[in-house]
């Protein structure tokens, strides 16, 4: 039987992470920096992105830049792409962790709030990847895209219809990109986190009864730390996952296994 080609477990090409100013995005920057990969921290909060990049440089000794980026805006994405491709020698990974919740049930939903969620969570990923596609192709072999979806791409939540729809869309986009970009050797996957201790979930977790209710639904009995999601993302970006594409990896402490 033929053997797969030798690989470096962690490529040294740079990784662009959206939503890098906090939460899963920030943890992902730290996780890939720990593996020695350069980082471009993109976030609409430029100060948060710069703090992440500075910690990557100081704590892990890698090249890291920060860009203030609104993933809803094509010009903003283009400017960040130009800055990133000039600063980092190669870009072999993209992680779309930028996301908003938009907690509004269907009977109160309006067009503006629907678009605000879909534009960041779903449309943003498509156009960020499109902008970085030439760099990803040039960095092959080993380029990879990871979208941060959610368990709410799989199960319904009546309070966040736009969020559920956007995250389900991330799974469809992932499969579509895996099909289209596979010919270029670019792998595309998604991660579906459960309850994670991030700024997005912080207001709910601050309510003791709400936190207790969430933890009771999780067989492991606790909420995840962002780094527990980030290390799975790092795996999907690495050559250890070189035959994984079009997949959605659930990281939820077993919650969806027992619903």
CA distances from 248 to 162, 174, 233 (A): 20, 8, 11
204 exposure class (CB count in 10 Å sphere: 0-12, 13-18, 19+): middle
For residue 65, the model assigns a pLDDT of: 98
Which ranges of the chain does DSSP label H, i.e. alpha helix? Answer: 23-34, 46-60, 74-87, 111-118, 124-138, 161-181, 202-205, 208-216, 226-237
Residue 237 DSSP SS3? helix
Q: How many CA atoms lie within 13 A of 238 on its CB side?
A: 18
Report all structural domains of the chain as residue ranges with CATH numbers, in order of start. Answer: 14-252 (3.40.50.720)
Residue 4 DSSP SS3? coil
pLDDT tens digits for range 229-257:
999 999 999 999 999 999 999 999 999 99
For residue 228, the model assigns a pLDDT of: 98
Would you state the torsion angle of the CA atoms of residues 214, 217, 220, 225, taken in this order, to the nearest 10 degrees?
A: -30
pTM of the model: 0.94
Closest CA to 13 of 192, 186, 229: 186
Q: Lay out the sheet containing 39-43: strands in order across.
A: 64-68, 39-43, 14-18, 91-96, 144-148, 187-193, 248-251
For residue 7, the model assigns a pLDDT of: 47
For residue 10, the model assigns a pLDDT of: 65
For residue 6, the model assigns a pLDDT of: 46
Closest CA to 31 of 193, 232, 251: 232
For residue 9, the model assigns a pLDDT of: 58
Enumerate residue ranges in the chain where pLDDT < 50: 1, 6-7
Give catalytic residues, as residue numbers: 163
For residue 229, the model assigns a pLDDT of: 98
Task: Give, rounded to a whole angstrom, the gap between the first and last alpha carbons of the chain.
Answer: 42
């Amino acid at each position: 039987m033929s053997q797969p080609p030798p690989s470096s477990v962690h490529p040294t090409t740079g990784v662009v992470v959206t939503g890098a100013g906090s939460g899963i995005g920030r943890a992902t920057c730290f996780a890939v920096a720990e593996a020695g990969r350069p980082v471009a921290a993109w976030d609409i909060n430029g100060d948060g992105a710069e703090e992440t990049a500075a910690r990557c440089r100081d704590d892990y000794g890698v090249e890291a830049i920060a860009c203030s980026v609104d993933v809803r805006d094509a010009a903003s994405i283009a400017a960040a792409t130009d800055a990133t491709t000039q600063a980092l020698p190669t870009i072999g990974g993209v992680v779309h962790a930028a996301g908003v919740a938009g907690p509004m049930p269907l009977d109160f939903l309006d067009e503006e709030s629907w678009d605000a969620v879909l534009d960041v969570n779903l449309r943003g990923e498509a156009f960020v990847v499109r902008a970085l596609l030439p760099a990803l192709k040039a960095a092959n072999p080993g380029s990879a895209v990871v979208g941060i979806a959610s368990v709410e791409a799989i199960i319904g939540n009546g309070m966040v219809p736009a969020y559920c729809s956007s995250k389900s869309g991330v799974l469809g986009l992932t499969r579509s990109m895996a099909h289209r970009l596979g010919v270029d050797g670019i792998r595309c996957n998604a991660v579906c986190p459960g309850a994670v201790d991030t700024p997005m979930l912080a207001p709910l977790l601050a309510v003791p009864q709400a936190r207790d209710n969430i933890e009771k639904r999780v067989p492991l009995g606790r909420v995840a730390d962002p780094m527990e999601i980030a290390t799975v993302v790092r795996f999907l970006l690495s050559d250890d996952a070189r035959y994984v594409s079009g997949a959605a990896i659930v990281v939820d402490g077993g919650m969806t296994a027992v619903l």
